[in-house]
Amino acid sequence: MDSSKNGHDKEYAPVVRALVSVLHNLPPKIIAIDGRPGSGKTTLGRFLAWWFNVSLIETDLFLFEGEGRYRHRADEVARIIATRLQGNLPVIVEGVTVLRQLASMNVDAHFLIYVDNASAPKLRQEYETQFVEYEAKFSPRQRADFTLELDH
């Protein structure tokens, strides 16, 4: 890798290596990035989208808070994913509870990256409870094809 491309090159090099064969010839696949809020999912997603020249869906842009819970406009995210896949192109989808979002659309990730950041901010109790429930049900860390460990 050309170390002059970006300040994250060395940090993200293992993820890039893991994705080279997955994204070879840019097949219509979903690459999902999961992790807790503030862990670095969006930064990683933007880097990978730039590196591989593919689209990134930042699902937090489709997020709204309702009834004290995170909710997403899944129909809009599903439409964008379908458009990319129908065009025979890969797409990176990142965000909090991304596996739940994909499951609500009856879509599976072809490759899952979990970002684990020891320095991620602590959540308010009501959201911490939601994430504990999400992690227990969907096991994103255990299901990940690749785990990126950060501490910043």
What is the per-residue pLDDT for 5? 55
2 falls within a domain = no
Count: domains in the chain? 1
The 10s digit of each residue's pLDDT in 128-143 is 888 899 999 999 999 9
Average pLDDT, stretch 19-40?
95
pLDDT of residue 45 exceeding 90: yes
Q: Is the pTM of this model over 0.95?
A: no
Please enumerate in sequence order all residues whose Cβ is within 8 A of that of 77, keeping only pairs 6 or more positions apart, or say none.
57, 59, 62, 93, 101, 105
Distance CA 40, CA 147 (A): 12
Which position has the higher pLDDT, 142 or 127? 142
> Domain residues for 130?
9-150
What is the per-residue pLDDT for 67? 55
29 falls within a domain = yes
What is the per-residue pLDDT for 3? 46
132 falls within a domain = yes
89 falls within a domain = yes
Token pair, residue 60, equals 């937090």
Distance CA 46, CA 51 (A): 8
Q: Are strands 30-35 and 91-94 parallel, antiparallel or unpaired?
A: parallel
What is the per-residue pLDDT for 63? 76
120 falls within a domain = yes
Q: What is the CATH number of the domain that holds 108?
A: 3.40.50.300
31 falls within a domain = yes
What is the per-residue pLDDT for 69? 60
Distance CA 113, CA 33 (A): 5
49 falls within a domain = yes
Choice among 9-18, 56-65, 76-85, 107-116 with the minimum mean pLDDT: 56-65
pLDDT of residue 47 exceeding 70: yes
pLDDT of residue 9 exceeding 90: no
DSSP per-residue letters across the chain = --TTS-TTHHHHHHHHHHHHTTSTT--S-EEEEEE-TTSSHHHHHHHHHHHHT-EEEEGGGGEEEETTEEEE-HHHHHHHHHHHHHTT--EEEE-TTHHHHHHHTT---SEEEEEEETTPPPPPHHHHHHHHHHHHHH-HHHH-SEEEEE--
The 10s digit of each residue's pLDDT in 92-126 is 999 989 999 999 999 999 999 999 998 888 888 87
